[in-house]
Amino acid sequence: MKNSLAGSSATKLSDRLRGRQIPHIGVLNREELEEVIGLGEWFRENRYDAAYTDLLKGRVQGLLFVYESTRTRLGFSAAMAQLGGSTIYMAAKDTQMGRGESIVDTARAIGQYIDVFSARLWKHEDIELACKNMSVPVLNACTPLDHSTHVIGELMAIKQAKGKLDGLNLVYTGMARGILHSFIRVCPVLGINLTLAVPTSYAETINRNILAEGEKKAEIAKTRLEVCTDLKEAVKDADFIQASTLIRSMLAGEQSPEEKRVKIPEWTVTDEVLDCAKDDALYSHSGPARRGVCATNEVMDGPRSIIPQEAKNAIYSKKALLALIVR
């Protein structure tokens, strides 16, 4: 579909990402990440601009989720609708996958009906198999090793609050799942110093290959990437504390052995924890956040929290990716 932007103030869309599959955020270089973030920012500031309301008219997005979602499902659906397309949501248990069909056969079938596939899957290998067995663009809507679209939204929120990304000290705290691994891959590329503040049992489950990849990128970029198993120590120089769900079973009902060893009070973000960071440090949570476990009410509802802004940015990160990839 050609862009017809004569007389429009809309930012020009490049074809750099057109038709791409994004199984994880590591496949995007700095220029591509900045393009996605920049377009997401434009969408955020020009929500009602009509330039792209028919960009994906007639296009269909398939969403396949193995467990429930609020922000990711709504974000993908709203983004596609705002671009003029439509979305078909499929809970995996209600498809033939629920009766044992493989992801390979499922992907080959679904790919015949849609123009873009966004999937939340139990195993990261399954998103890779979907990419190999579909000719349409594929987006990772959360696996154990990636949550790229959500992390791009989080980076947009951080940049919106701090005015930049390059040179910031970012502390991630929460479970060692998709968001953590996406931050490892992307923060050094964007010049961000990253500290992973996780319980010892979670530190042991960080993917070693992805950590080594992030450390190599950090060495090249001359940024810092470290793992810390003491929350108050980790946040000492933090500009921003980015949290995720602390206990896996509270998110998806899938209990991990390592969560049984987590001493929750030591990892709950409180005002006392925030006071250990820089005076202007901010806090956010990718959601869903269990109050009193991930953070206290005072932190989540307080003046240093930007949780609502992050939820909003997560929509526009998805919209930017869909606009750049699906055309």
Sequential DSSP letters for 234-252: HTTT-SEEEE--S-HHHHH
Please indicate, yes or no, if residue 20 is contained in any of the structural domains. no
Does the pLDDT of residue 8 top 90, yes or no?
Answer: no
Contact present, 322 and 280 (Cβ < 8 Å): no
- Same-domain check for residues 44 and 126: yes
- Same-domain check for residues 142 and 157: no
Please indicate, yes or no, if residue 274 is contained in any of the structural domains. yes
Give the closest residue to 79 by CA, choosing from 125, 116, 111. Answer: 116
Does the pLDDT of residue 1 top 80, yes or no?
Answer: no
Q: State the first-to-last Cα distance of the chain, in angstroms, to the nearest integer.
A: 6
Structurally, the chain folds into a number of domains equal to 2
CATH number at residue 291: 3.40.50.1370
Question: How far, in Å, are 29, 71, 157, 181 from residue 311 at the CA level?
Answer: 24, 7, 9, 20
Does the pLDDT of residue 7 top 50, yes or no?
Answer: no
DSSP class of residue 278? -
- Same-domain check for residues 217 and 290: yes
* pLDDT tens figures, 61-70: 999 999 999 9
* pLDDT tens figures, 39-62: 999 999 999 999 999 999 999 999
Range of the domain at 50: 25-146+313-326
- Same-domain check for residues 258 and 321: no
Contact present, 116 and 62 (Cβ < 8 Å): yes
Please indicate, yes or no, if residue 2 is contained in any of the structural domains. no
- Same-domain check for residues 49 and 140: yes
Amino acid at 247: I
Query: Other CB atoms closer than 10 Å to residue 303's CB: what's the count?
Result: 6
Buried b (16+ CB within 10 A) or exposed e, 221-248: bebebebbbebeebbeebbbbbbbbbbb
Does the pLDDT of residue 5 top 50, yes or no?
Answer: no
- Same-domain check for residues 234 and 259: yes
User: Above pLDDT 70, what percent of the chain?
Assistant: 96
pLDDT range class, residue 90, cuts 50, 70, 90: very high
* pLDDT tens figures, 101-159: 999 999 999 999 999 999 999 999 999 999 999 999 999 999 999 999 999 999 999 99
Please indicate, yes or no, if residue 12 is contained in any of the structural domains. no
Question: How far, in Å, are 128, 156, 208, 243, 313 from residue 43 at the CA level?
Answer: 29, 12, 36, 25, 10
Crossing angle, helix 124-132 and helix 103-110, to 10 degrees? 40
- Same-domain check for residues 119 and 226: no
Predicted local distance difference test score (pLDDT) of residue 327: 81
Amino acid at 234: A
- Same-domain check for residues 82 and 126: yes
Please indicate, yes or no, if residue 181 is contained in any of the structural domains. yes
- Same-domain check for residues 190 and 233: yes
Predicted local distance difference test score (pLDDT) of residue 194: 98
Does the pLDDT of residue 4 top 70, yes or no?
Answer: no
Q: Where do we find the tokens 């790229």?
A: 148
Predicted local distance difference test score (pLDDT) of residue 3: 42
> Rounded mean pLDDT of 66-87?
96
> Rounded mean pLDDT of 320-326?
98
Locate 179 and state its tokens: 């968001």
- Same-domain check for residues 66 and 131: yes
Please indicate, yes or no, if residue 9 is contained in any of the structural domains. no
- Same-domain check for residues 138 and 189: no
Predicted local distance difference test score (pLDDT) of residue 9: 64
- Same-domain check for residues 44 and 166: no
Predicted local distance difference test score (pLDDT) of residue 166: 97
Predicted local distance difference test score (pLDDT) of residue 282: 98
Please indicate, yes or no, if residue 296 is contained in any of the structural domains. yes
Predicted local distance difference test score (pLDDT) of residue 252: 66
Helix (H, G, I), strand (E, B), or coil: what is residue 140?
Answer: strand
Please indicate, yes or no, if residue 178 is contained in any of the structural domains. yes
Non-local (6+) Cβ contacts of 139 within 8 A are 21, 22, 116, 117, 118, 119, 148, 149, 318, 321, 322, 325
* pLDDT tens figures, 267-299: 999 999 999 999 999 999 999 999 999 999 999
> Rounded mean pLDDT of 187-207?
97
d(CA 308, CA 242): 13
* pLDDT tens figures, 233-275: 999 999 999 999 998 777 766 677 888 899 999 999 999 999 9
Predicted local distance difference test score (pLDDT) of residue 10: 75
